[in-house]
Structure 1
């Protein structure tokens, strides 16, 4: 099992993001490294309504966001997506030492709704500055099956349609799904996630059917949904760094 209750002693603080943290970085990072963790499966099995920064639904129509499932637990479940990559790709951020406590407080607010803190080895991707280094102990927020926001396996088509219909203060749930698919595909030729890709394809097909039924030619396309005033360039590591948590939160509200 790869989760540990406490981090190994280190002078560095690393954070692993596998969902919205990939394209909405935390403040005060000085390194951003693509890579992966093992021993988990990424699934859209977490309810998202009010508290997280990326709240993409309402109590009447709660959105869905990703969490990590321990592979040994997932293998005992009946999942319509019966396969999953051995590596869960994402991004690790090294936080500047003088801002670790501030960023931890920020993350506790951003990830508060059902997510708990764990530590796990992160493997830097090849051709990165840290690729020859042994795995990095990184903090990760996980919505475990014990939390009340965890919903478990769902029919993929019903899940895609639910994501299409959900909308919250941070925007449409479909934006979260499509941004995650795009961000993952940009990390590496090997970083795609079958679960995320299948849901995205089902969502696009359902959106097309809805447009044809309604005759609405103004419905947003993928490119319009993904358009952002502060795009993240995954290949050149050209990322906006906020000077404070307050500035970062204002930046994210416009994304």
Structure 2
């Protein structure tokens, strides 16, 4: 435990701070990154098995967001979906001068049950970086193309494809109080459709995740995510005249504009 804490405290001191995002970080990147690389990690399974009380749900009615389950532990569980061999996402490099600020931001963003782990990340080829934050800003900033997503410039960076990069990653471990474990897919889809929190509707998180994954690579889909999207769309189609979008009670107070959802 002491060695792990020491690694957390010193990680990034050699300008090697890389963060792996497998959930909302794919489409809502951290601030101040200067490189973004699509790719994957191995040895984990991505599942909507983490409760969200602070972003896509409330303490009274938690939503559902993704976490990673160690494959060896997943093998001991009963799941309705087969695992993918690779968990696709995006790795972000944070310059050493911004590490402390970004770490504080991430600790707040991931406070609801997530803890810091480390994993080898395999970049996809060709290696690219997507620039969203500029300092100084460009003369003609590109407009938002959807909520939370900006048009981006993509430039090549040097590196060998599939050379592993050690990444920090936030994971809701099975020991954390928000970890729910295996769930019936139909019940899970209904829960996602009915949930809403300060960051917005739970379904938006699910649909954005599927779209973001498809944008990473031809091979970056996730059967668990796509199956939940299919089930939610079917339930929406069978819903009321509002296209299945039933009214969901908001948490007390107004929605927090732009609040980042729990990651992953």
TM-score, scaled to structure 1: 0.79
5+ residue gaps, structure 1: 221-249
Gaps of 5+ in 2: 128-156, 247-255
Please name the residue that 2:77 is paired with: 77
Deviation per residue, 1:128-148 (Å, 9 max, x gap)? 143436211100000000000
Tell me which of 181, 204, 207 is aligned to 1:152: 181
Distance in structure 2 (CA, Å) of the matches to 1:79 and 1:218 = 27
Of structures 1 and 2, the one with the larger relative CO (CA 8 A, separation 6+) is: 2
Q: 1:151 to 1:133 in 2, by over 3 A?
A: closer
After TM superposition, the score normalised by the length of structure 2 is: 0.76
Q: Does the CA-based 8 Å contact 1:125-1:131 persist in structure 2? A: no
CA RMSD of aligned residues (A): 2.2
Is the CA contact 2:24–2:205 (under 8 Å) kept in the aligned structure 1?
A: yes
SS at match of 1:164: helix
Distance in 2 separating the partners of 1:8 and 1:39: 23
The structure whose residues are more often helix, as a share, is 1
How far has the Cα of 1:96 moved from its partner? 1.5
Q: Deviations over 1:188-232 (max 9, x none)?
A: 01000000000000000001101xxx2236959xxxxxxxxxxxx
Separation in structure 2 between the aligned mates of residue 87 and residue 205 of structure 1, nearest angstrom: 27
Q: Distance in 1 between matches of 2:13 and 2:99?
A: 15
Q: How does 1:11-30 map to 2 (within 5 A)?
A: 11-30=15-34
For residues 45 and 85 of structure 2, the distance between their equivalents in structure 1, rounded to whole angstroms, comes to: 8
1:57 aligns with 2:57: yes
* Structure 1 residue 60, shift from structure 2 partner: 2.2
Match of 1:123 in 2: 122
Q: Structure 1 residues 137-146 or 56-65, which shifts more?
A: 56-65
* Counterpart selection for 1:252 from 248, 252, 258: 258
